[in-house]
Structure formats: C-alpha cells, structure tokens
Amino acid sequence: MTARKSGTGGAGWKAAALGAALLVSPAALQADREVEIQPDPDFFEPGRDGGREQERPPPQATPEQARETRRLGLLWLAQRQNEDGGWGQGEESRNMGSGMDQVRDVSNVADTSMTAITLLRSGNTPTQGEHAERIRRAAFYVCGKIEASDEESLFVTDMRGTRLQSKIGTYVDTFLAANLLAEVRGDMPDAEGNARVDAALQKVMGKIQRNQREDGTWGQEGWAPALGQRLAGKAINAAVLRGAEVDEAVRERAETYARGQFDRESGGFAEEGAAGVALYAAASSVGTMQDSDDANRRRQQEAQRRVEEAKDEEERAAAQADLRDVQDRLDANQQDLEAAREA
C-alpha cells in the first residue's frame, strides 16, 4: 500500500493498555477476588539498549488458552467500572509521566463508550451475557452526559484534556457515544430504557449533523484526527443501519470525503490528520467507505420497496428516481472501495 506522504508511526496507547489487561494469570481468578495483572516473566527479557526491556515473541496459545485469556482480560476491564457506570482512562505509561493523574480514575464518555463497545463485541448485550448489567450502566452513564449537554455544540461532556481527546481529537467523546448508543438502540431491557437511549442518540446525532463542515469533516484537532473522522463516519452509518433518522446530505458528505482521501492513480491515501501513519489514513478512508456501502445497500432496499408499494404512477415515478440516485451513489462508492482494497 502506497501513501502520498511518508512518516513514522505513533504509540498504540489503547492497544498497549488492552494488551496489558490480557496478561492475566488464570490462577488470579478466585471467588471474591479481583483479577490482577501478572506479566508473564518469559514474555520480556532484559535488553542491552539502556537496560530497556525487549519484547520476545510470545509462545503459541491453544484455542482454549486464548479464550480463557480473553475472558480474564474482559473481566479485568469490567471490574474497573466506576460506581457511576463509567470508566476512566487509567494510568499513564512510565515514559509519559504523571501529567494526567487528576483524570486517571474519573469517568469520561470516550473511554466508557470504548469499553462498553468492547464488551458488546465479546458477545454480550444489554440483556444477555456476563457483562449485560455493566453495558446497561455504561449506556445510561453516556445518556446522562448527553442529556446534560447543550443543544448546539459538538461537545457532550465538560471534561477536557483526556488522553483520547489529545490523541484522536476534541470530539472523540461525541463520536464514540454515538457509536455506543447506535449499537444498543432497541436492545435495552424495557421500553423506558430504549426510549432514553433513542432520545440521547437523536440528540447526539443532531449535534454531529449540525456541526459537520462543508468538506464532510468535523475538525482536525488532535494528534491523529483521521481516527476521529473514522469514528464519526462509523457512527452516522451505524445509526442508519439501526433505524435511526440521519440526514442523507451529512452522510453523503462524509462518504465523499472518505472517497477523496484515496488516490486511484497512485494507490495511496492522503495522510493529513493521520499523524504520518499510513495505516490510520487507509483505515479511516476504507472503513468509512465500507460502512457507507452497508448503509447504501440498506437505502437501496428501502427505495426498491417504495417502488413496489407505490399506490399510483406519480408516487412510483418519484420512488424510481430516488432508486436511481441511490444506485448511482452505491456504484460510485463501491468502485472506489474495491480499488482502495486492492491498493
């Protein structure tokens, strides 16, 4: 894969944190005892470069060991949920100092949403699974923050200066909140919970739609705001797929921007806002095009149904025109998506 600009990668801060969470000894899991991180002594060896530890390739795990390690890692995360239903960002790595100690254990929307989505991805839902209650508490924590926020700005929280905000962008809380609420929409255990989630999702989607720029972006603040753009694109398409109302003009601008970040002639991706990391640039572009393709197919099906259910010729003609527009957009996006995948 070729990039338009060269550069070096940044630190995988969240991946490192989750990786540490997975280094858990099965012996640590006992009744009424919190899971503790116990690094495998064979995984690191003393280095010769200034005494730093050098990572050694880990041994191959059996499927059973991998499942157990995954389960324990999720449990470690779950046990660190705060009383208010949220999660904080945790401690800094040794080389990053202690400048964020004041927000280390304080719940924030972005980390809460990311952790809850992790629990959802592991097979839990708001009503089923080992972590169902934790997902519900997280969703209601996020709802509460959105409910307390203003109507017009892109912010959903008054917390500033978190690690994710500095890395991914100022509005990462907003985009991750929208992703979480889209995922749990309609899946809460009762009508009251579903209504609260739906109202919060509508409010945060309104913020996203009102604050989109003409070029389809939401700002370039942060170390790698291309990742924030990716989260925004994912949120608006996920909302469509979950049946929420989304302004098609907003979704189309985000899709057009994502397509424009890929250069078919060179086979590269524009790295503006990607911190010089080609993978971030490619993931933001291709990921949004793929999500748009999924949502476009949904719109195509809806347009086809309107054609079939039209009550008169005038209504059928309007539905057919809409279907042609949807099909043209679907085809154009798919062409760029296929080319980008092969780059």
pLDDT over 70 percentage in the chain: 80
Asked if the model's pLDDT at residue 17 lies above 60, the reply is no
Q: What is the pLDDT of residues 62-83, one digit of tens each?
A: 899 999 999 999 999 999 999 9
Among residues 316, 255, 314, 311, the alpha carbon closest in space to that of 288 is found at 255
Among residues 192, 187, 235, the alpha carbon closest in space to that of 211 is found at 235
- 25 pLDDT band, cuts 50/70/90, is very low
Instruction: Say what the pLDDT of residue 28 is.
Output: 36
Question: Amino acid identity, residue 225?
Answer: P
Instruction: Say what the pLDDT of residue 266 is.
Output: 93
Question: Amino acid identity, residue 142?
Answer: V
Dihedral sign (CA 95, 97, 99, 105): positive
- 10 pLDDT band, cuts 50/70/90, is very low
Asked which of 13-22, 110-119, 236-245, 299-308 is least confident by mean pLDDT, the reply is 13-22
- 11 pLDDT band, cuts 50/70/90, is very low
Instruction: Say what the pLDDT of residue 103 is.
Output: 72
SS3 labels along the chain? CCCCCCCCCCCCHHHHHHHHHHCECHHHCCCCCCCCECCCCCCEEECCCCCCEEECCCCCCCHHHHHHHHHHHHHHHHCCCCCCCCECCCCCCHHHCCCCHHHCCCCEHHHHHHHHHHHHHCCCCCCCCCCHHHHHHHHHHHHHHHHHCCCCCCCCCCCCCCHHHHHCCCCHHHHHHHHHHHHHCCCCCCHHHHHHHHHHHHHHHHHHHHCCCCCCCCCCCCCCHHHHHHHHHHHHHHHHHCCCCCCHHHHHHHHHHHHHCEECCCCEECCCCCCCCHHHHHHHHHHHHHHHHHHHHHHHHHHHHHHHHCCCHHHHHHHHHHHHHHHHHHHHHHHHHHHHHHC
Q: What is the pLDDT of residues 153-168, one digit of tens each?
A: 999 999 998 999 999 9
Instruction: Say what the pLDDT of residue 37 is.
Output: 52
Length of the chain: 343
Q: What is the pLDDT of residues 201-257, one digit of tens each?
A: 999 999 999 999 999 999 878 999 999 999 999 999 999 999 999 999 999 999 999
Q: What is the pLDDT of residues 266-323, one digit of tens each?
A: 999 998 899 999 999 999 999 999 999 999 999 999 999 999 999 999 999 999 999 9
pLDDT over 90 percentage in the chain: 73
Q: What is the mean pLDDT of the chain?
A: 86
Instruction: Say what the pLDDT of residue 108 is.
Output: 97
Instruction: Say what the pLDDT of residue 343 is.
Output: 85
The pTM (predicted TM-score) of the whole model is 0.82
Distance CA 131, CA 322 (A): 43
- 4 pLDDT band, cuts 50/70/90, is very low
- 134 pLDDT band, cuts 50/70/90, is very high
Among residues 120, 103, 77, the alpha carbon closest in space to that of 164 is found at 103
Distance CA 245, CA 180 (A): 16
- 12 pLDDT band, cuts 50/70/90, is very low
Asked if the model's pLDDT at residue 263 lies above 70, the reply is yes
Instruction: Say what the pLDDT of residue 40 is.
Output: 54
- 267 sits in the region (left: phi over 0; alpha: psi -120 to 50; else beta) called left
- 58 pLDDT band, cuts 50/70/90, is low
First to last CA, the chain: 5
